[in-house]
Structure 1
């Protein structure tokens, strides 16, 4: 940790190399644990882990003066890489989920799920309405918190990143859910009882 405070030079470079190796190991564990939920596998997981480790290293070296020693340095660094993995997975999810599917091609795929077409389209319409509501009904902060929570970012890590506390996050999520529910009800996608 002391070598990182020095700024530049061979000792600094060696410390960064050792730290990066640690961050890659942590990021790999995290993406392999969480990646299947996002339907990501193989080399793409490896790329996400390395990118998250590199981004975390940059954040750590930029914020090294803020390290107070309240916890072990590796624990402090761990938080950064886990947040960067969450960010990378979120970016990947948004990029992939915004991909448009050719509905004519979909109609030609045989139904092996046992779901009738009407139920499938209703569910798809609800998902699209929910995605639109998140983008248009929520404030930028509510959208960030809601997306992070839905993507599985632990509240402690999110509170630290946003420099707030769990209670404020609970309130933000409560308000976001209320707005989303109202928007979906107004659009006829949810009933008052549902």
Structure 2
């Protein structure tokens, strides 16, 4: 992966360095913990690495940006690298040395880049949080159509009766409208983890409701709260 990313950037390694992990500093964690010139140099080298990884990911997801130009790619790349560096430093003490430090760092850049692209792709798009949508999926045959509408009605009823208003909003946005979880977290002012927990609870309640109504076998695990 390092060779693949290297072709995306222009960062020059210090003389004699065979790879980014050979570059000064050799002990990333220790150097990044102590303020001073060495830490500043490490931050600059690390940011360049994160920017290259982020640019690679932005290019992979560029189709989501439509007519995004070079300036857009550069903007998203920089934002992702900045965010990745901040996230990495906040979790520096969690690095266990099971992989190269730079390999560990790549993950932060890739995640942040993917998040930035999704945010940009959804920028300006309306996200309905009403939760009152009717879930229908027309089928080709009359009998299948009736069954599909019947199940859709049951699911819609479960959304209305089994879920709290917040659970319903989250379930509709994530499951029906396919809103990216990080975008929804931004809109609602919450976290990805909190949304995943809400969705998990909502699914359990919906399953319990459908089981009680006879749409799912009674042996299914329900455990709604």
TM range (shorter): 0.5 to 0.7
With normalisation by structure 2, the TM-score equals 0.46
* Higher helix proportion: 1
Deviation of 1:57 after TM superposition, in Å, equals 0.6
Deviation of 1:66 after TM superposition, in Å, equals 0.8
Mapped to 2, the partners of 1:4 and 1:48 lie a distance apart of 28
Query: Residue 97 of structure 1 aligns to a residue in which SS?
Result: coil
Count the aligned residue pairs. 126
Query: Residue 96 of structure 1 aligns to a residue in which SS?
Result: coil
Deviation of 1:38 after TM superposition, in Å, equals 2.5
Mapped to 1, the partners of 2:71 and 2:61 lie a distance apart of 15
CA RMSD of aligned residues (A): 3.8
Distance change (3 Å), C-alpha of 1:41 and 1:137 = farther
Unaligned runs of at least 5 residues, structure 2 = 1-27, 128-165, 184-191, 208-225
With normalisation by structure 1, the TM-score equals 0.53
Aligned to 2:213: none
Runs of 4+ in 1 over 6 A off after TM superposition: none
Q: Which protein has the larger Cα radius of gyration, Structure 1 or Structure 2?
A: 2
Aligned to 1:48: 76
Mapped to 2, the partners of 1:96 and 1:73 lie a distance apart of 37
Unaligned runs of at least 5 residues, structure 1 = 100-134, 152-160, 163-167, 180-194
Aligned to 2:56: 29
Mapped to 1, the partners of 2:122 and 2:33 lie a distance apart of 38
Query: Residue 139 of structure 1 aligns to a residue in which SS?
Result: helix
Deviation of 1:2 after TM superposition, in Å, equals 3.2
**C-alpha contact (below 8 Å) 2:58/2:113 kept by paired residues:** yes
